[in-house]
């Protein structure tokens, strides 16, 4: 579940948060050719509910999740918690 990689042109970090109830998921955007020693153009963080569905989303849908977070408008100072729901196929 820990991620520290480039996904779809974004720098992504993810790991279980210290509260044990959520997963930290951070997406950063750097301009093409920009040094990583400089701050990113923007950085967006969400927390994923740390349950079976949340872990599955982070592990198996990281690219889609990254794109979703990149397109979100997150107000400054607002903590966003995403909760996934699993449904059984019938």
Model pLDDT for residues 47-71, shown as the tens digit of each residue: 999 999 999 999 999 999 999 999 9
Can you give the pLDDT at residue 79? 95
> pTM of the full predicted structure?
0.91
Average confidence score pLDDT of the chain: 93
What is the average per-residue pLDDT within 33-58? 95
Cα–Cα distance measured from residue 69 to residue 48, given in angstroms and rounded to the nearest whole number: 11
- Rounded-to-integer distance, Cα 90 and Cα 85, Å: 16
């Amino acid at each position: 579940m820990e991620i520290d990689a480039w996904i779809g042109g974004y720098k992504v970090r993810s790991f279980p948060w210290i509260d044990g109830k959520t997963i930290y998921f951070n997406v950063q955007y750097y301009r093409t050719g920009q040094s990583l020693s400089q701050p990113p153009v923007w950085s967006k963080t969400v927390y994923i509910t740390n349950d079976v569905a949340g872990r599955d989303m982070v592990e198996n849908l990281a690219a889609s999740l990254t794109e979703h977070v990149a397109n979100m408008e997150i107000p400054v100072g607002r903590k966003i918690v995403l909760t996934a729901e699993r449904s059984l196929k019938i």
